A and B are shown apart, each in its own frame.
Chain A
Amino acid sequence: DAKTTQPTSMDCAEGRAANLPCNHSTISGNEYVYWYRQIHSQGPQYIIHGLKNNETNEMASLIITEDRKSSTLILPHATLRDTAVYYCIVRVVAGNQFYFGTGTSLTVIP
């Protein structure tokens, strides 16, 4: 079962920051937060992951609240190519299972 909840859909203007929230109120201390995205008709693409500190890479930033019960994925300057379904997942370090929820469908508007 997915252990995260996300809004079904969001819109973002091109060039603006896209902030995608995720709730994981039952997260355990040894569970990481992962973000993937899936562009239509393709396999999901890894974006970023974190445990408790904020993380940044070339694609996005991940902000995790101090109590770790929620997180936000930030795409700093959204482009049309960022239109996709974004999945937030939690998993343990040694865990074999990845459980995907229904994700957030992000539409970047010109």
Chain B
Amino acid sequence: SQTIHQWPATLVQPVGSPLSLECTVEGTSNPNLYWYRQAAGRGLQLLFYSVGIGQISSEVPQNLSASRPQDRQFILSSKKLLLSDSGFYLCAWIPGNGLGLKTQYFGPGTRLLVL
């Protein structure tokens, strides 16, 4: 069965510090991978998605970046965090192989607080 992991679960970082959040998927190959951010009391904002290794599409220009060094690994990074980067970060995936409609599944999330 397929599972998705995110770590860390929670993170408190000072303003200006770097960030690295990791997401991995098990039990599938060539998935589409996604990073979302959810600010407190707000909806989900799509940040990045990837359809393959090294392929990243950015939805929102900001001080965050994403990388996909391996098929089932998706990393969200920042060189210098801002206060506004605080939020709940969610990784998601959908099957990349085959045709037809696919459903998106979410990981447990990482709660980031920038102080």
Contact = CB atoms under 8 A, between A and B. Distances in A.
Contacts, number: 50
Given A96-B51, A100-B46, 16 more contacts: A34-B103, A34-B104, A41-B109, A41-B111, A43-B108, A44-B92, A44-B106, A46-B103, A46-B104, A49-B103, A87-B44, A96-B32, A97-B46, A98-B46, A102-B43, A103-B43
Given A42-B109, A43-B90, A43-B108, A99 B103 contact: no
Contacts of A49: 101, 103
B107 interface: yes
Interface residues of A, number: 20
Contacts of A46: 103-105
Contacts of A100: 36, 43-46
A87 B106 contact: no
Contacts of A101: 43
A93 B42 CA distance: 27
A45 interface: yes
Interface in A61-99: 87, 93, 96-99
Interface of A: 2, 32, 34, 41-46, 49, 87, 93, 96-103
Contacts of B111: 41
